Amino acid sequence: MSETAEPNVGTFTLADPLTTAPAEPVEVPDHAEWSLPNGFAWVFPADGNTTGDVVRPVIMADGFNLGRSELDKTYQGLESGYKFISELHRRGRDVILLGFEERSASILDNARAAEAAIMQTVSHRRGDARLVVGGFSMGGIVTRYALADLERKRMDHQTALYFSYDSPHRGASIPVGVQAFSHFIPFPNDFARQMNSPAARQMLWRHYDKDTKKIGVAPERTEFLDALNRLGGWPQIPMKIAVANGRGDGVGLPDVKPGEVALRVDRIYPGTTFYTQAQGDDVTAAYLNRRFPKAEETITTSGFPELDGAPGGTLHTYKILADTLRKLGGTVDLRHEDVCFVPSVSAVAVRDIETQSDLYVSIDGLSPDESELDDFLCSPTTTAHTAITAELCTWLMDRLPD
């Protein structure tokens, strides 16, 4: 270890299952590739479709991470465990995976790739079956914006169904102490770039500003929401559906209690401690400490609900951080591997996540009219953010247009 600086732990990023290599890789079949503004698409025809055209197409957009989309990993994630693409093929659907040149770029920039993919699909379509367009996590937000923007421009997107898969329609949550730690690392690093990226600033419910060290709604989020509202908020022509990886009965993560130690680090960044989010004013979310160059910082919040244990799709936030620190020689006390990333109320657009009562509301007990969507489904059990499950995928496929 250097005697003049803490080790650089910033070579990792926070990633969901669809953006990481699966435990057992799946062979990716041959496919056509389309070059698009700010992105690209891989086209997987159903068995028997050898025409070069697309038939009954389903466009599925990649989610948030740093760097260019790795659609081989996306494909493998969609075919590991429950074989989502294979089942779509069995039902006679061609699948188009949409990737981005920079996944952390502005949602508005990546919407250009989505719009181009939609119009190219229309031009390559055989028959008159209308499109299905959606995406996973951020991909669901990108395609939501793209469809609404095409309607504003009076371009016929030929889309019958829009879907989102655990997308943060009302915002996502990464613990602010974790965000702050990315900038506490005394080196330029990928983790900090991810946390400070345009997409992160647009999607996160609350953002830690590295320059002011203040916690609040990023200006980029306000600007994005304003831009979305100018389009009417949603596309108006297609049916709109969504699935959530979190539960709908108001039950969150039972082992994640507010105000507990989630992760403590020693040897490197000694004494650095992250706590699960609690309610109240001046609540300690994290204590950060480093030896070289010497610095310490306490991250506090006021007026936050208990986000980390809320009902929602989970992310291996603290496990990813702990594993990285351990590899670099740190001693870690990891007590909570996973925390909520996309609250269920956000994924199904039924409530904001400002208050404890809204965050933990029993969605199952609400009128479906409270959602901005036409239909939705929450997972019966808490699952990882964008985890591909038979129940969620079957429900979604059963609602595809003929």
pLDDT in tens, 210-265: 999 999 999 999 999 999 999 999 999 999 999 999 999 999 999 999 999 999 99
Percent of the chain at pLDDT > 90 equals 90
Q: For residues 41 and 34, what is the distance between their CA atoms, to the nearest angstrom? A: 5
Give exposure, 28-57, as e/b (b: 16+ Cβ within 10 Å). eeeeeebebebbbbbbbbbeebeeeebbbb
229 contacts: CB under 8 Å, gap ≥ 6? none
Q: Looking at residue 87, what is its pLDDT?
A: 97
pLDDT of residue 11 exceeding 50, the answer is yes
Residues 51 and 92 in one domain: yes
Q: For residues 296 and 285, what is the distance between their CA atoms, to the nearest angstrom? A: 14
Residues 154 and 258 in one domain: no
Q: What is the mean pLDDT of residues 290-317?
A: 97
pLDDT in tens, 251-269: 999 999 999 999 999 999 9
Residues 214 and 261 in one domain: yes
Q: Looking at residue 25, what is its pLDDT?
A: 82
The count of domains in the chain is: 2
Q: Comparing 337 with 292, which gets the higher pLDDT?
A: 337
Average pLDDT value for the chain: 95
180 is a domain residue: yes
pLDDT of residue 5 exceeding 70, the answer is no
Confidence of residue 1 (pLDDT cuts 50, 70, 90): very low
Domain that includes residue 136, residue range: 17-170+223-248+366-397
Peptide bond into 37 cis (omega under 30): no
Q: Which of 40-54, 82-96, 363-377 has the lowest mean pLDDT?
A: 40-54
pLDDT in tens, 355-394: 999 999 999 999 989 999 999 999 999 999 999 999 999 9
55 is a domain residue: yes
Residue 312: which H helix or E strand, with range? strand 312-315
Q: What is the mean pLDDT of residues 127-136?
A: 96
Q: Looking at residue 151, what is its pLDDT?
A: 98
Strand order in the sheet with 261-266: 295-301, 283-290, 273-275, 261-266, 331-334
User: In terms of Cα–Cα distance, which of 166, 37, 183 is closest to 114?
Assistant: 37
pLDDT of residue 3 exceeding 60, the answer is no
Q: For residues 129 and 52, what is the distance between their CA atoms, to the nearest angstrom? A: 16
144 is a domain residue: yes
325 is a domain residue: yes
pLDDT of residue 52 exceeding 80, the answer is no
242 is a domain residue: yes
Q: Looking at residue 81, what is its pLDDT?
A: 85
280 is a domain residue: yes
Residues 91 and 37 in one domain: yes
Q: Comparing 44 with 2, which gets the higher pLDDT?
A: 44
In the beta sheet, which residues pair with residue 135? 61, 164
User: In terms of Cα–Cα distance, which of 59, 65, 61 is closest to 19?
Assistant: 65
Residues 215 and 228 in one domain: no
Count of CA atoms in the C-beta half-sphere (13 A) of 337: 5
User: Percentages helix, strand, coil for the chain, rounded to the nearest 5?
Assistant: 30, 20, 50
pLDDT in tens, 174-205: 999 999 999 999 999 999 999 999 999 999 99
Residues 161 and 182 in one domain: no
Residues 239 and 295 in one domain: no
Residues 129 and 235 in one domain: yes
Residues 48 and 82 in one domain: yes
> Against a cut of 0.85, is the pTM above it?
yes
**210, burial (CB in 10 Å: exposed 0-12, middle 13-18, buried 19+):** middle
361 is a domain residue: no
Residues 160 and 299 in one domain: no
215 is a domain residue: yes
pLDDT of residue 10 exceeding 70, the answer is no
Residues 238 and 322 in one domain: no
Q: Looking at residue 4, what is its pLDDT?
A: 52
Percent of the chain at pLDDT > 70 equals 98
Residues 269 and 333 in one domain: yes
Return the CATH number at 84: 3.40.50.1820
Q: Which of 42-51, 125-134, 345-354 has the lowest mean pLDDT?
A: 42-51
Confidence of residue 20 (pLDDT cuts 50, 70, 90): confident
